[in-house]
Amino acid sequence: MPELPEVETIVNDLRPQLVGRRIESLQLTRDPAIRARLVRYPSANAFVRRLRGRMIMSIQRRGKYIVMPLDPPAGEQNLPANGGVHPSGDRVIVHLGMTGHLRVWEPEEAPVKHTHFRALLDSGVELRYDDPRQFGRLVVGTLDELIAARAFPARLGPEPIHGDLTEAEFERLIRARRRPVKSALLDQSFLAGVGNIYADEACFRAGIRPSRWTHRLTVRERRSLYAAIQDVLENSIAARGSSIINYVDGFGLRGSNQEKLLVYGRSGQPCLKCGTPLQGTRLAGRGTVYCRTCQR
């Protein structure tokens, strides 16, 4: 599943291709079951209506979400709301789920299998979403609307990189949670963007077993974990993400960070530090890999 580094890579790749572009026409798959699953809010028909003719003002990552604020709808540009300027506040939010891809294609390129959404932009290219497993989500609305409709989390933790999270803030957050480190790291209301891959990698780097309780970590361990989380995420962004399952970047190319993973997906293989076979277990409902010797 794409996590913070993969989504960050895609957002950076798409930015020059999308910002300032207007959506001229859109096509959603006709399959009613896929439409209903994919478009979480509003209805599939309303989604298409609300997007048509709108301009993508910017593209950002928030946690594992791709967020694209839109210009105000046609006819509302000059209508002041609450006595002020009227920013529509509408945004398209995409969650790639397990196997989703958001990419720009030339219109003459045949859509890949499982392409569920296509938007023709005024630059002449098409923004397309494909997703074989269909765990991804597309929504459009104001933040308040999306939160009320449970189409976007009301509480999303801080961003762990780019200097948004200080060490003191991290300490405060982790000490307030009495739970296994792994489940805290996976909790998006604690930290936004960390998933199974980087939770295991961060624990290994910090020398902490994923089953350790957050409130029992020593000061030194908390500091190691804080640094390890940032290292694994930033190194992966530098390597353009981990191509686990079918991840590709905004240009359709694989990342290379999967070759640098030290524990994820390596259960039973020798630890790259000490040679002990790595231990696979389940924690917080997820496959978890760690080294019994290097992690305490």
Known catalytic residues? 2-3, 64, 286
Cβ pair 247, 6 in contact under 8 A: yes
Instruction: Write each residue from 232 to 271 as x if it is in contact with Zn ion (CB under 5 A), else as -, in one continuous string.
Output: ---------------------------------------x
Specify which residues 101 forms β-bridges with: 130
Say if CB 258 and CB 223 are below 8 A apart. no
Cis peptide bond upstream of 153, omega within 30:
no
Give the nearer residue to Zn ion in terms of CB position, either 79 or 274.
Answer: 274
How far apart are CB 33 and Zn ion at their closest, in Å? 46
CB of 275 to Zn ion, least distance (A): 7
37 part of the interface to Zn ion, by CB under 5 A: no
Q: Mark out the alpha helices in the chain (DSSP H runs).
A: 4-18, 32-38, 44-51, 143-148, 167-175, 181-186, 196-206, 219-238
**In three state form, how does the secondary structure of 249-280 look?**
CCCCCCCCHHHHCCCCCCCCCECCCCCCECEE
- Number of chain positions touching Zn ion (CB under 5 A): 7
Please give the Cα distance from 240 to 74 (Å, whole number): 37
Residue nearest Zn ion (C-beta atom): 271
274 touches Zn ion (CB under 5 A) = yes
| Strand, helix or coil for residue 82 | coil
Residue placing its CB nearer to Zn ion in the complex, 211 or 293: 293
Sole binder of Zn ion in the list 71, 273, 277, 281 (CB under 5 A): 273
The smaller minimum CB distance to Zn ion, of residues 253 and 274, is found at: 274
Q: Which stretch binds Zn ion (CB under 5 A): 10-18, 28-36, 151-159, 273-281?
A: 273-281
Give the CB-side neighbour count of residue 226, counting CA atoms within 13 A: 21
* Calpha distance 80→260 (Å, rounded): 52
CA atoms within 13 A on the CB side of 4: 30
Tokens of 108: 């003459």
Stretch that binds Zn ion, among 117-125, 216-224, 241-249, 275-283 (CB under 5 A): 275-283
Minimum Å gap between C-beta 206 and Zn ion is 13
Give 73 or 207: the residue with its C-beta nearer to Zn ion.
207
Q: Per rule CB under 5 A, is residue 291 in the interface with Zn ion?
A: yes
Quick one: which segment of 82-90, 136-144, 235-243, 276-284 binds Zn ion (CB under 5 A)?
A: 276-284
Please give the C-alpha separations between residue 124 and each of 20, 71, 112, 155, 264, in angstroms, as whole numbers.
13, 19, 19, 37, 41
Among 191, 208, 261, 294, interactor with Zn ion by CB under 5 A: 294
- Mark the segment that binds Zn ion (CB under 5 A) among 5-13, 111-119, 189-197, 287-295: 287-295
At residue 157, φ and ψ (nearest 5 deg) are -65, 175
Q: By rule CB under 5 A, what string of x and - marks binding of each residue 203-222 to Zn ion?
A: --------------------
- Least Å distance, CB 222 to Zn ion, is 21
Q: How far is the CB of 262 from Zn ion (least distance, A)?
A: 9
Name the site residues for Zn ion (rule: CB under 5 A). Answer: 271, 273-274, 276, 291, 293-294
